[in-house]
């Protein structure tokens, strides 16, 4: 795998873009702290950008399946680079409306880029290398997040926001250039001609066809529902970090939380391949989502200095193990000709959930506070896990009974 030039291009490009992304996120938080006093309004601003990504999701899925994935990556990468110009205008005029427009453009580009990248990964490595590459890819993203938040934190203090977004823009441009060097064979490349459409009936099916496939594939359906658990934590991640900092009257706790969570995430992505050799993927998914729920519940003690670090470290370890397994199962459970629509649906689903959690987090922080909010989210997570586990046991028993009856007949 390490001799594969495409793997290096994807990882190096992701590292550069990841730094730019997180430098930009730190810039976003700083800009909102200056101009938006309410947590709920902060979450509402982020909501509009995510909503735009959901709206274009079906179109993105169809285009990724019907056209060159490399071209989709290039166009969306260029879109992310140019969208930063709008943020320069927002800073110049100190206008939050331009920031909303910037987030909308950024999320539309991301709605094309990330599903296309997930569809490309199975095309550049063998199936038995997918888990390793997914884990390494997430580790690279985490290292970029740690570096990006550290650099962003220094820059917002030492220089202007214009320079912060300038660095973010250069990082996106670097990814755009790296994408040109990708070389891979697209197995399901579709031409516009009617002859090809006739010969490739799967490509004629619309975006809604993915719903039938998900419903008929029990493992994928359960996996999609299980993804709610980490999203309940991730959706309010930044707002919770800010709230913990205010609760403890300690600005330095933010950097410690990001650092320990990131290190734990990388540790999880490193050990997961060994764990999959000893335990079933399904069992691991239930175990690590339970860990996420426990991490949420322990934030009830966020007023204790070291407790948020423990909670976020536990969360980082859990999702570092959960996401490589989750991504690999998504990539291998459904035919590659549907991958564009599958990953676009997954992206839409996660964005909708992220929006709901984001708005709920902002509202709860303004009303009932952090400590009672995390109790609600943790309890909901445990109920979802319990319900899915019981349903899966019943499903397996029913399937086993059918097999027994068929054999006896």
- Tokens 């008929």, residue located: 216
Grade residue 196 by pLDDT with cuts at 50, 70 and 90: very low
Which among 163, 182, 201 is the end of a domain?
182
Number of structural domains in the chain:
2
pLDDT digits (tens, 9 = 90+) for 142-158: 778 777 877 887 887 78
Question: Does 318 reside within a domain?
Answer: yes
Mean pLDDT of 97-108: 89
User: What's the gap between Cα 52 and its chain centre?
Assistant: 16
Q: Does one domain contain both 252 and 325? A: yes
Rounded-to-integer distance, Cα 379 and Cα 229, Å: 11
**137 and 223, same domain (yes or no):** no
Domain shared by 86 and 28, yes or no: yes
H-only helix segments in 299-338: 307-333
Measure the CA–CA gap between 330 and 324, rounded to whole angstroms: 10
Query: What pLDDT band is residue 187 in, cutting at 50, 70 and 90?
Result: low
For residues 46 and 155, membership in a common domain is answered with yes
Cα separation, 81 vs 74, in Å, equals: 11
Q: Is residue 281 part of a domain?
A: yes
Q: DSSP string covering 200-233, please? A: -HHHHS-TTHHHHHHHH-HHHHHHHHHTHHHHHH
pLDDT tens per residue, range 342-367: 777 777 777 778 778 877 888 888 88
Backbone torsion region of residue 36, taken as left when φ is above 0, otherwise alpha when ψ lies between -120 and 50, otherwise beta:
beta
> Residue 107 and residue 85: Cα distance in Å, rounded?
15
The CATH number of whichever domain residue 139 belongs to comes to 1.20.1250.20
d(CA 206, CA 62): 7
Give yes or no: residues 255 and 116 share one domain: no
> Is the pLDDT score of 201 beyond 70?
no
Domain with 60 in it: 1-182
Specify the pLDDT at position 189: 45
Residue 45 near residue 358, CB atoms below 8 Å: no
CA dist 161 and 184 (Å) reads 39
pLDDT of residue 405: 58
Q: Which carries the bigger pLDDT value, residue 167 or residue 42?
A: 167
Name the band, by pLDDT with cuts 50, 70 and 90, for residue 192. Answer: very low
Q: What is the pLDDT of residue 269?
A: 76
Q: Is 251 helix (H, G, I), strand (E, B) or coil?
A: coil
The per-residue pLDDT for 265 is 84
As a whole number, mean pLDDT of residues 279-304 equals: 90
Helix (H/G/I), strand (E/B), else coil: 297: helix
355 lies in some domain = no
Q: Residue 140 phi/psi, 5° resolution?
A: -60, -40
pLDDT for 202-214, tens place per residue? 444 566 777 777 7
Please check whether residues 59 and 103 belong to one and the same domain: yes
Q: Does 340 fall in a domain?
A: no
Q: Is residue 202 part of a domain?
A: no
């Amino acid at each position: 795998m390490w001799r594969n030039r495409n793997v290096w291009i994807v990882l190096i490009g992701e590292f550069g873009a990841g730094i730019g992304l997180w430098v930009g996120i730190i810039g976003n938080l700083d800009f909102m702290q200056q101009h938006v006093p309410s947590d709920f309004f902060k979450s509402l601003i982020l909501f509009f950008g995510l909503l735009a990504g959901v709206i274009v999701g079906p179109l993105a899925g169809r285009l990724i399946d019907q056209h060159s994935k490399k071209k989709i990556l290039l166009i969306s990468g260029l879109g992310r680079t140019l969208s930063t110009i709008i943020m320069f205008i927002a800073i110049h005029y100190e206008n939050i409306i331009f920031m909303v427009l910037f987030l909308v453009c950024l999320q539309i580009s991301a709605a094309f880029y990330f599903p296309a990248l997930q569809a490309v990964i199975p095309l550049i490595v063998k199936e038995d290398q997918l888990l390793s590459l997914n884990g390494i890819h997430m580790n690279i993203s985490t290292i970029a997040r740690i570096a990006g938040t550290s650099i962003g934190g220094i820059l917002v203090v030492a220089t202007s926001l214009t320079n912060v977004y300038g660095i973010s823009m250069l990082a996106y441009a670097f990814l755009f250039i790296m994408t040109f060097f990708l070389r891979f064979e697209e197995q399901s490349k579709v031409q516009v001609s009617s002859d090809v459409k006739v010969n490739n009936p799967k490509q004629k099916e619309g975006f809604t066809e993915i719903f039938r496939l998900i419903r008929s594939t029990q493992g994928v359906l359960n996996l999609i529902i299980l993804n709610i658990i980490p999203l309940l934590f991730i959706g309010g991640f930044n707002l919770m970090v800010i709230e913990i900092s205010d609760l403890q009257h300690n600005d330095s706790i933010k950097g410690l939380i990001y650092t320990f969570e990131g290190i734990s995430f990388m540790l999880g992505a490193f050990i997961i391949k060994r764990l999959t050799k000893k335990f079933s993927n399904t069992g691991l998914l239930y175990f690590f989502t339970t860990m996420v729920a426990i991490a949420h519940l322990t934030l009830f003690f966020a007023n204790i200095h070291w407790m948020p670090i423990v909670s976020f470290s536990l969360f980082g370890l859990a999702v570092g193990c959960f996401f490589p397994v989750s991504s690999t199962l998504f990539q291998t459970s459904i035919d590659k000709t549907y991958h564009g629509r599958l990953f676009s649906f997954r992206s839409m689903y996660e964005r909708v959930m992220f929006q709901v959690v984001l708005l709920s987090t902002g509202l709860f922080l303004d009303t009932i506070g952090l400590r009672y909010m995390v109790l609600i989210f943790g309890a909901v997570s445990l109920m979802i896990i319990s319900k899915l586990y019981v349903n899966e046991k019943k499903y397996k028993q029913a399937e086993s009974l059918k097999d027994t009856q068929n054999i006896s007949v």
